[in-house]
Amino acid sequence: MINSKPVSESVITMTELVLPNHTNQLGKLLGGQLMHWIDICAALSAAKHNQRVCVTASVDRIDFHHPISLGDAVTLVASVNRVFNTSMEVGVKVFAENFREGKRIHTNTAYLTFVSVDSQGTPVKAVEIIPQSEEEKRRYDEALIRRQNRLSSRVKKD
């Protein structure tokens, strides 16, 4: 098995068309539908990077900056930001595009934690990530800060 890979090899791009069954009564994309697409895109990125199944461990908060409308094309771009041991942070950027108006906007950014597992569902060491560009190095550094925040906010079990 490969020990490390560049971030660029973990990139997944998905495009979805917002159809009527994806919208609320106002013709806007349902938040739950977008979260579903984000989780799928991130899971594919983690699996591509590790060449194995990776399961969702946590999702950081998702802010909805701009509504996404019926008929918009939604593009999600995911990549692994940082690998810890069995877990890794995957970042997803979401863009909505209205082809008729020629407008494309960044609507969401989400961070998810995935765990690399074997065929029995047991966590296994994840493949290391190599950030190369300045942006990848920034995301790599920021992922450690987010992880520390996640770990410090965990509820202690009785």
Check if the beta carbon of residue 49 is closer than 8 Å to that of residue 127. yes
Per-residue pLDDT of the chain (158 residues; tens, 9 = 90+): 678 999 999 999 999 999 999 999 999 999 999 999 999 999 999 999 999 999 999 998 888 899 999 999 999 999 999 999 999 999 999 999 999 999 999 999 999 999 999 999 999 999 999 999 999 999 999 999 999 988 888 766 65
The domains located in the chain, with CATH, are 4-151 (3.10.129.10)
For 87, half-sphere exposure in the C-beta direction (CA atoms, 13 angstrom radius) is 14
Q: Which two tokens stand for residue 70?
A: 């019926």
- d(Cα 79, Cα 48) in Å, to the nearest integer? 10
> So what's the pLDDT on residue 157?
64
> So what's the pLDDT on residue 4?
94
Q: What is the dihedral of CA 59, 64, 70, 71, to 10 degrees?
A: -80
